[in-house]
Structure 1
Amino acid sequence: MGETSSAGGGAVFEEHPLRQTLLDEVHARPFPLLEAPLRSIHLAFMNANTDAESELAAVSALFRAHGAKPPAAGARYHRSPIDIGILRWERHSEFSTYTWESKPGEDPLREVAPRGPFGDGFTQPGPLLSALRLIFLPDPGDAGLEKLLEAFDPVSLSVSEVTQGKGLFATDLKQDPQGYIRYLVVDHGMSLSRAGSVILRLHEIETYRTLALLGLPEAQAVAPRVRRMEEELSGITAAIRDTTELTANRELLARLTNLAGELEADVARISYRMSATRAYDEILQYRIDALDEKPTPGHGTLDRFLARRHKPAIRTCNSVQKRQEALAQKLGRAIDLLRARVDIDLEQQNGELLESMNRRARMQLRLQQTVEGLSIGAISYYLIGIVGYAAKGLKEAGVFPVKPEIVMGAAVPVVLGFVWMMVRRIRKHHAEHDDG
C-alpha cells in the first residue's frame, strides 16, 4: 500500500500506490491553448530501434539546446516554450511525435518551412513516418479563403466546417515539395482550447491514418500466399474424397500438416501488424467523429474522402486476416477428418495383422501338438526297443526267462505314459517361464 491521504471530513485512508498516477493520467496531455496565426510542424517517427531512455536523453538535450527545461526522469510527454516557439514531444509504444509551433510567414502554405528545432542538432528516434504542416489563420474572408485554397489540389481537396461553424479546415492529403502533408485551419471564433483540440485531432488523424496503412504492404504480400494455400487445400480435399489407400492418406495428411505449418508462420509474422492496423484505424475513426465535420458547398469532407481512399486499404487488411482464419479452420477440419480416416485404416490394418498372427499361432499350436504326438510315439518306440534289447540280453543270460516280445508288449503302455508325462511337464515348465 502507498501513502496516506485525508478525505471525507478529515478521515485518513491508506492509498493505492498507483492512485496518484492514475489520477494524473487524465490530465497528462491537455489540449493546448492555440491562437491564430500559427504554423505547426508535426512529425511522427517509428521508435522500435530506440529505447525510451536513449530517446529521453536526446529529447532532454534538444530542449536544453533551445533554452528550455528538459522533461522529468521517466517522462513520455513534454511540452514547453523554447527560444523559437513551443516544442511538444510524446513517446508512444511504437512511435514518437514531435510538434513545433511558431509564427507563419507571408505565404504560409507555399513557403519553404523552416527546420526550426529539427535541424542538424536533432536526433530522430527512428525512420520518419508522418510529416504534417498545419497553418492556423484568422478569418481571411471569402475571397482570402478561396485564394488560400488554390494552394491545394482541387481533385482531392476536402473542406469542412467544425465546432458548429466556428472553425474550418482544408487539406488535400498530398505531400508538398518538402514532404509535408498540408492542412489549413481557419478561425471563425473558436476559443483557444477549442482551436487547440481541433488542431491536436488533425495531428492525430494524420499520424494514425499513416500508421493504420502500415498493415497494407504486409496484407498485399501475404494475399497471394493465402490464395495459393486455398487452392492447394481445395486440391487436397478433392483427393481425400477419391483416396482410400492408407499410404495415399498418409501422404495427404503430411501435405495438410505442412500447409498448416506454413499458414501459422504467416499468421505469426503479420498478426501484430494486422492487430495494430485495426487499433489505429479505430482511433482514427474516433478522432474523425470527434471533429463533427460539416460539409461546405462544393467540397467533400475528410471523412468521406478517407472512406473512399483509406477504408478500402483497411478492408484489404481485414479481409486477408479473415481469410487466414477461415483457412486455418478448414485446414483443422481437413486434418481431423484425414487423421480419423488414417486411424481407422491403421486400426483395421492392425486388426487384420492380429488376426493373421492368431491364425499363425493356431497353426503353430496344431503343428506343435502334432509334433508332440509324433515325438511321444518316436521316443516311446526307441525306449521300447531299448527295453526289448535289455529283455533279450537278460533271457540269453538266463536271468529273466520271459520272452522279450512279452516284455516289450507290457512296456508299451508304461513307456507311453511315462513319455507323455515328461513331455507335459516340459511344456508346463516352458509356459510358466514365458508367463513369468
Structure 2
Amino acid sequence: MREGPRRFEDHPLRGAVLHEIHARPFLMMEAPRIVLSFAFMTDAAQSAAARGSLAALCARNGLPQPAADARHHVVDLAGGTLRWESHAEFTTYSWDVRGSAGALPADTPFGEAFEPPGPLMVAVRLDLVSDDRPVADILASYDPGSLAVSEVAGGRGVIASDFREDGDGYTRLLVIDRGFEPQEAGPVVQRLLELETYRTLALLGLPEAQRLQPEIRRIETQLVANTARFRSSEGFEANRRLLDDLTALAGELEAGAAESAFRFGASRAYSEITHLRLNAMSERPTPGYSSFTAYLARRMAPAMRTCQTVESRQQDLSRKLARAAALLRARVDVELSQQNRALLDSMNRRARLQLRLQQTVEGLSVAAISYYIVGLIGYLAKGSPVVGFELDPTHVTAFAVIPVALFVWFLVRRIRSRHDDGHGD
C-alpha cells in the first residue's frame, strides 16, 4: 500500500490550486533586453479564439501547445520568449528578446500575420539597459513634464517613464541595470509591465463616470422637482402620477447603476493591484524627479475619486428615491383606503335601503296573500249549503282575517330566516 498523501484521493481542484502559485514565474533577464507587451480587451469567445490562434502558431513552429483550458502559456519564439495570458476581460501578450535600445528587431511575433483577439488597450515597449551615465543624460529624450524616475532593488536599478507614446504607438518604459542580482531584473520588469497594464485598465472607469454624471444630475434635479410636487399634490390621481414619475426615475437610475457596477468594481480592483505592484518594487525617489508612486497618485487618484463619487451618488440617490416613493406610496394607500371606505359606506347605505324595501315588500306581500286566502275562505263559506249546513260568509270572512294574516306573516318570516341562514353559511 502507498504511503503518504499519494494514497489519498485528491480534491478535483487540488492540482489547479497547487499549480496556480507557479503559473506566472518571473523570467531570468539580463541587460540588454527589449520587451514588447500588449493587452487586448476580450470577451470569453475572443479569449478562446486567441488560445486557438496561439495553439495553431505553436503547432506551425513545432512548439508545445497550450491546454484547452489554459490561461497562460510560455514558449520560445522568434529568438525570444513569448508569454500569453488570458484574464477576465483582457488578454495579454509579451515578448522579450535580447537587444539594445533603438530600433525594434525586424522579426517579431506581432507582424502582419498576427491577428489581434480584440481592441488594443495597452502597448508597451520596455528597454532593460546597462548604463552608467547620469540619469539626466540617459533620459534626455523623455518628456520632462511627465517624467517619473525611481530607484529599485536597493538602488541597484532605476526605472523611468514619461507614460507617453512614441512614434510607433508604444508607451516607453526604461529599466537601468546598476548592478542587479541575477534574479532581480526579471521581477522588476514583470511588475513594471503589470503596473502599466493595470493602471491603464483602472482608468477605464473614468469615461463611464463622466458619461453618467449628466444623467445623475438630471435625475437629482427631477427628484427635487418631484419632491416639491409631493408637498403640494392632492388627490389620488395626482399622487399616483407622481408615484409613476418617481418609479420611472428609479428605473433609469438602477439601469445606469447596473451598467456601471462591473466597470467601477473592476477599476477599484485594478487600482488596488497597481498599488500592490508599486509597493512590491520598494521604490525610492530619485532626487530631482517625481517617483512612480507620487506621479501615479497625482494622476490616478482624481480619476478614482471621480468613479467613487459617481458610485456614491448613485447609491445615495437610489436611497432618496426609495424613501420618496415609500412615502408617496403610503399616501396613495391611505387615499385608496379612504376611497374603499367611502365605497363600503355607500354599499351599506344601499343595503339598508334594500332591507327597508324588502320589509315594505314583505308587509305588502303579507297583506296581499292574506287577502287572497281570506277571499278563498269567503268563497268556501258561500258554498257551505252544498254540504248540508249554511254559514254566513260575512262572519266567516271577518273572523278569518286575523288568523290568516298572522299565519301568513309567520310563514313569510320563517322563509326569510331560512334564506338568511343559507347566506350566512
Determine which of 7, 20, 32 is the counterpart of 1:25: 20
CA gap of 1:134–1:114, structure 2 versus 1, over 3 A, is: farther
Determine which of 78, 82, 86 is the counterpart of 1:83: 78
Matched, 1:189 2:184: no
CA gap of 1:78–1:112, structure 2 versus 1, over 3 A, is: closer
Matched, 1:71 2:32: no
Q: How do 1:107-146 and structure 2 match up within 5 A?
A: 108=102, 111=103, 114=106, 116-142=108-134, 145-146=135-136
Deviation >6 Å, runs of 4+:
395-398
TM-aligned CA deviation for residue 262 of structure 1: 2.0
Secondary structure of 1:175's match? coil
Q: Which residue of 2 aligns with 1:422?
A: 411
Question: Counterpart of 1:415 in structure 2: which amino acid?
Answer: V
On the 8 A contact 2:160/2:174 being kept in 1, the answer is yes
Q: Which residue of 1 aligns with 2:343?
A: 353
Determine which of 274, 283, 287 is the counterpart of 2:277: 287
Determine which of 6, 17, 29 is the counterpart of 1:34: 29
Question: Counterpart of 1:424 in structure 2: which amino acid?
Answer: R
On the 8 A contact 2:382/2:391 being kept in 1, the answer is no
Deviations 1:178-230 (A, max 9, x none): 11000111111111321111111110011111111222222222222122122
Deviations 1:208-264 (A, max 9, x none): 111112222222222221221222222222322323422222222222222222222
On the 8 A contact 1:60/1:71 being kept in 2, the answer is yes
Q: How far apart are the structure 2 equivalents of 1:401 and 1:32?
A: 136
CA gap of 1:43–1:261, structure 2 versus 1, over 3 A, is: same
Matched, 1:230 2:220: yes
On the 8 A contact 1:5/1:14 being kept in 2, the answer is no
Secondary structure of 1:155's match? helix
Deviations 1:60-82 (A, max 9, x none): 33345556444355332222333
CA gap of 1:50–1:427, structure 2 versus 1, over 3 A, is: closer
Deviations 1:357-378 (A, max 9, x none): 1222122212221232233234
Q: Which residue of 2 aligns with 1:6?
A: 4
On the 8 A contact 2:127/2:174 being kept in 1, the answer is yes
TM-aligned CA deviation for residue 271 of structure 1: 1.4
What is the Cα-based RMSD across aligned positions, in Å? 2.7
Question: Counterpart of 1:239 in structure 2: which amino acid?
Answer: R
Q: How far apart are the structure 2 equivalents of 1:348 and 1:4?
A: 81
CA gap of 1:167–1:4, structure 2 versus 1, over 3 A, is: farther
TM-aligned CA deviation for residue 159 of structure 1: 1.1
TM-score (norm. length: structure 1): 0.89
On the 8 A contact 2:77/2:109 being kept in 1, the answer is no
Q: How do 1:247-286 and structure 2 match up within 5 A?
A: 247-286=237-276
Q: How far apart are the structure 2 equivalents of 1:146 and 1:54?
A: 45
Q: Which residue of 1 aligns with 2:87?
A: 92
CA gap of 1:337–1:104, structure 2 versus 1, over 3 A, is: same
Q: How do 1:309-328 and structure 2 match up within 5 A?
A: 309-328=299-318
Secondary structure of 2:164's match? strand
On the 8 A contact 1:62/1:117 being kept in 2, the answer is no
On the 8 A contact 1:157/1:300 being kept in 2, the answer is yes
Q: How far apart are the structure 2 equivalents of 1:80 and 1:282?
A: 30
Q: How far apart are the structure 1 equivalents of 2:96 and 2:375?
A: 127
TM-aligned CA deviation for residue 112 of structure 1: 5.7
Question: Counterpart of 2:89 in structure 1: which amino acid?
Answer: E
Gaps of 5+ in 2: none
Q: How far apart are the structure 1 equivalents of 2:207 and 2:173?
A: 26
Q: How far apart are the structure 1 equivalents of 2:129 and 2:387?
A: 150
CA gap of 1:83–1:378, structure 2 versus 1, over 3 A, is: closer
Percentage of identical aligned residues: 48
Question: Counterpart of 1:135 in structure 2: which amino acid?
Answer: D
CA gap of 1:418–1:198, structure 2 versus 1, over 3 A, is: same
TM-aligned CA deviation for residue 176 of structure 1: 0.9
On the 8 A contact 1:45/1:125 being kept in 2, the answer is yes
Determine which of 126, 149, 170 is the counterpart of 1:159: 149
Q: Which residue of 2 aligns with 1:212?
A: 202
TM-aligned CA deviation for residue 431 of structure 1: 2.9
CA gap of 1:197–1:366, structure 2 versus 1, over 3 A, is: same
TM-aligned CA deviation for residue 166 of structure 1: 1.2
TM-aligned CA deviation for residue 42 of structure 1: 0.8
TM-aligned CA deviation for residue 49 of structure 1: 5.7
More off after superposition, 130-139 vs 41-50: 41-50
CA gap of 1:422–1:224, structure 2 versus 1, over 3 A, is: same
Question: Counterpart of 1:409 in structure 2: which amino acid?
Answer: A
Gaps of 5+ in 1: none
Q: How far apart are the structure 1 equivalents of 2:191 and 2:133?
A: 24
Matched, 1:413 2:402: yes
On the 8 A contact 1:4/1:13 being kept in 2, the answer is no
CA gap of 1:17–1:412, structure 2 versus 1, over 3 A, is: closer
Q: How far apart are the structure 2 equivalents of 1:217 and 1:286?
A: 24
On the 8 A contact 2:39/2:120 being kept in 1, the answer is yes
TM-aligned CA deviation for residue 171 of structure 1: 0.7
